[in-house]
Amino acid sequence: MVGWNESRESSRAVFDALPLLQKAKLTRLVTVDVPTGGNLPAAGIAETLDRHGVKTEITDVASDGMSVGETLLRAANDHGADLIVLGAYGHSRFSEMVFGGATRHILRNLDRPVLMSH
């Protein structure tokens, strides 16, 4: 599973994980709280991964008031993901330290292998 938010860090994580993703039966690209009626933010990376032989499926999940980190872990559990791939520290480290964030939450609640890139 890839936690996708169109950031430089997400892109780097996907390409760092490419050899693993190529061996997966399915890679789920998970976005959180994408507004309806807009473009699918993961469509571009899905096309790119397809060119590299990675079978993908895009899933947008609603946070339902949870943090992005909690939402990603819930999605990983719901879909039986064996690995979570995501970009780390999309905000300044100070901001992450003060306000928390997906990176911090995932690291504190690891329950499966995670590949993070910054």
Tens digit of each residue's pLDDT (9 = 90 or more) over 31-65 = 999 887 767 889 999 999 999 999 999 999 999 99
Radius of gyration in angstroms for the set of CA atoms belonging to the chain, rounded to a whole number: 13
Tens digit of each residue's pLDDT (9 = 90 or more) over 1-39 = 999 999 899 999 999 999 999 999 999 999 999 887 767
C-alpha to C-alpha distance for 109 and 90, rounded to whole angstroms:
18
Domain with 89 in it: what CATH number? Answer: 3.40.50.620
Is the confidence at residue 91, as pLDDT, over 60? no
pTM for the whole thing? 0.87
User: Which residues span the domain enclosing 99?
Assistant: 2-117
How many domains does one find in the chain? 1
- DSSP symbols for 14-59: HHHSHHHHHHSS-EEEEEESPPTTS--TTHHHHHHHHHTT--EEEE
Identify the pLDDT of residue 99: 43
Is the confidence at residue 102, as pLDDT, over 70? yes
